[in-house]
Homo-oligomer: A and B are copies of this chain.
Amino acid sequence: MIKTKILAPSQNAHPYPLLIKSLLLSGQRYEPNNEIVYSDVLRYSYKTLIQRICQLANVLTEAGVQAGDTVAVMDWDSHRYLEAYFAVPMIGAVLHHVNVRLSLDQIIYTMDHAEDNYVLVHDDFLILAEQFGKKIPSIRGYVQLTDTASAAETSLNTLGEYEALLASASDQYDFPDFDENSIATTFYTTGTTGNPKGVYFSHRQLVLHTLNMAATLGCYEGQPLLRSNDVYMPMTPMFHVHAWGVPYVATMLGVKQVYPGRYEPNKLVELFAREKVTFSHGVPTILQMVLDSEAAKTTDLSGWKMLTGGSAPTLGMAKHMADRGILFYTAYGMSETCPLLTATYLRHDELAKPMSDQMAERIKTGVPIAMVDLKIVDVMGNDVPHDGESMGEVVARAPWLTQGYYKEPEKSDELWENGWLHTGDVASISPEGTLEIKDRIKDVIKTGGEWISSLELENLISQNEAVNQVAVVGVPDERWGERPFAMIVPAEGYSIDAADIKQHLQHYVDSGQIAKWAIPERISIVSEIPKTSVGKINKKLIRDQVDA
């Protein structure tokens, strides 16, 4: 390291560690009367939010939670979750966002692996929690989260019900300073193979993610998603990558926030209309369910700013959004990245187009936000040109990336190979700087030094009306390294063979959309494609079957 000038501070100087508590200062000063709304259950002001965060901190401290302990939350999106986002890290403990959508075994695995000490558990998950028993020996206590007048019966020995506990606690708490590198949050990411892996974020990382996201969403006229006059409602669960980090930004800005509880599409639309929501975000599946809901048919959705991510929205869906007057944006990130890396950025010329013509750009994953160093690299780690065609793995540096997987040193070192976080995504970057995700690197087909996107081949093949389902994987090839292999389920009433598919793909070769060598030699017509337990195509199994 080069030798720069570093001066010792005054012995009296306050060093100001970057702690989550500092994000609470401004919102309440700017807009003390703005509200936090929990579905139909509760609403209160920012002034009350601060008091309740102090009350929760007192409840936890009196229950014996200490700095360094881990507190798990099993809840739908609620004011309680927001309070826990602050109170738990602010007393020096770690907040484990439990993914309640996992199987019981996976939930137990993650909570045991995270060494959870206390669990805040909603009535809907009591039956799950009653089965933890001795399987998670680290647990020392439970707090029950109830939305109704009387708490559900449970055999768990809980400390009491959340609201009752808060009501009897002091609304003052002197939150201590401590090391900004203290872990504030943890949660688990699931792949197609192996156990879930724990990612973790420090106070410093969350503060820096919040500040950069605020600057990005507020300053850029091409993506003015969240400003002080907005009303925010998440449609990404709060247990999923900090609800993309937005609750922290919204609280720092003091904007009105609406938490919808368990997601029900009609309910989301009703809350949007009633609370005058202006900004939401969610994966394409959720947004599509909202669009298709009964309530959406009779509600004016215009002006709703929607950010999507997690997987690529279709152009059809985006145009449907535009038709309804929804302002649609895309972002890119993952559990390992806190998550924000890139977001739609529309320059003057793009914004001047009619909305329907902006959609092709809006569904791409956008441009890296401030302070994100991001590039695409080949298998040797060399930079790949930004020509909009060449593909490379997306690698990134930013001040808010998980520094590893919890208690998995080998996987941590792989994640950070060569000092860059490897996203496992393959993308191109246009000359204008727009990132377009093409595939997962494990699914991309590496053939003769070139990469073919399995997703692109699947898209092209699926445009043949005789095709119902298709999966494309790379299989080993002595000469080329890998070659594409396609597995196809014909549409009902159609009969199809490999030659038909090759002929179909030849049209795209002729029009220059794909190279000649992208056409698979091996095409298998089947009655069913192997799927994972959650219904995704099981490419690993397909590859194993072809190899065998």
Q: How far is the CA of A481 from the CA of B516 in the complex (A)?
A: 93
The answer to the question of A183 belonging to the interface, with a C-beta cut-off of 8 Å to chain B, is yes
Assess whether B228 is in contact with A399, with CB atoms less than 8 Å apart. Answer: no
- Copies of this chain: 2
A420 CB–B CB distance under 8 Å: yes
Question: Is the pair B25, A372 in contact by a Cβ cutoff of 8 Å?
Answer: yes
In the bound complex, residues from chain B placing their C-beta under 8 Å from that of A30 are: 220, 222, 345, 347, 367
Query: Among B29, B182, B401, which residue has its beta carbon within 8 angstroms of that of A5?
Result: B182
What residues on B are CB-neighbors of A82 within 8 Å? none
For the complex, count residues of A whose C-beta is within 8 A of B. 83
- Interface positions, chain A 217-268, Cβ under 8 Å from B, are 217-222, 224, 226-229, 252-253
Find out whether the CB atom of A68 lies under 8 angstroms from the CB atom of B228: no
Q: Which of A5, A345, A370 has the most CB of B within 10 A?
A: A5
Q: How far is the CA of A219 from the CA of B409 in the complex (A)?
A: 40
Nearest CB of B to A222, in Å: 7
Known contacts A10-B404, A29-B433, A219-B219; decide if A252 and B370 are in contact (CB<8 Å). Answer: yes
Say yes or no: B29 contacts A368, CB within 8 Å: yes
* Majority secondary structure of chain A interface residues (helix, strand, loop or mixed): loop
Contact A12 B413 (CB under 8 A): yes
Which residue from chain B places its CB closest to the CB of A410 in the assembled complex?
B10
Give A387-428 interface residues, CB cut-off 8 Å to B: 397-399, 401, 403-404, 406, 409, 412-413, 415-421
Q: Given A228-B219, A228-B220, does the pair A416, B372 have CB atoms closer than 8 Å?
A: no
Docked-complex contact B367 and A29, CB < 8 angstroms: yes
Contact stretch, chosen from A16-24, A120-128, A189-197, A298-306: A16-24
Residue from A70, A177, A218 with most neighbouring chain B CB atoms (10 Å): A218
* CB contact between A10 and one of B67, B68, B179, B403 (< 8 Å): that residue: B403
Q: Measuring CB to CB, which residues of chain A are less than 8 angstroms from any residue of chain B? A: 1-7, 9-14, 16, 18, 22-23, 25-26, 29-32, 67-68, 70, 92, 94, 176-179, 181-183, 200, 202, 208, 211-212, 214-215, 217-222, 224, 226-229, 252-253, 345, 347-348, 367-373, 397-399, 401, 403-404, 406, 409, 412-413, 415-421, 433
Can you list 25 A-B pairs, Cβ within 8 angstroms, ordered by A? A3-B92, A5-B70, A6-B183, A7-B183, A7-B403, A7-B406, A9-B404, A12-B416, A14-B397, A14-B416, A14-B419, A22-B371, A22-B399, A25-B371, A26-B371, A26-B372, A29-B433, A30-B367, A32-B433, A211-B370, A214-B218, A214-B219, A219-B227, A220-B227, A222-B228
